[in-house]
Structure 1
Amino acid sequence: MKSILLSVIIIIIISSSCVNKNNSVQDKEEIIAVLNQQQKDWSNNDLESFMDGYWKSDSLYFYSGKKLKSGWENTLNSYLKNYPDKSYSGTLKFTIAKISAITPDSYFVMGEYNLTREVGNATGTFMIIFKRIDGEWKIIADSSC
Structure 2
Amino acid sequence: MRKTLVISIIFLLFSNLGFTQEKITENEKEHILLLLDKQTEAWNEGDLEKFMETYWKSDKLVFMGSRGPTYGWQATLDGYKKGYPGKTAMGHLEFKILDLRKIDTKTVFLIGRYELTREIGDLIGHFTLIIQKIDGGWVIISDHSSGVS
C-alpha deviations, 1:62-86, integer Å up to 9, x for none? 0010410100000000000110011
Matched with 2:130 is: 129
Amino acid at match of 2:141: I
Distance in 2 (CA, whole Å) between partners of 1:71 and 1:128 is: 15
Residue correspondence of structure 1 range 60-75 to structure 2 within 5 A: 60-75=61-76
Structure 1, unaligned stretches of length 5 or more?
1-19
C-alpha deviations, 1:93-143, integer Å up to 9, x for none? 000001100001000110100001111100000000000011100000000
Kindly tell me the number of residue pairs found equivalent between the two proteins.
Answer: 125
What TM-score do the two structures reach when normalised by structure 1? 0.84
| Aligned residues: CA RMSD | 1.2
Secondary structure in 2 matching 1:73: helix
Identity of aligned residues (%): 42
Matched with 1:106 is: 107
Structure 2, unaligned stretches of length 5 or more?
1-21
Matched with 1:27 is: 28
C-alpha deviations, 1:6-53, integer Å up to 9, x for none? xxxxxxxxxxxxxx86x6211111000000110000011100000000
Secondary structure in 1 matching 2:53: helix
Amino acid at match of 1:55: W
Residue correspondence of structure 1 range 1-145 to structure 2 within 5 A: 24-145=25-146
By percentage of residues, which structure has more helix? 1
Distance in 1 (CA, whole Å) between partners of 2:105 and 2:34 is: 18
Distance in 2 (CA, whole Å) between partners of 1:118 and 1:47 is: 19
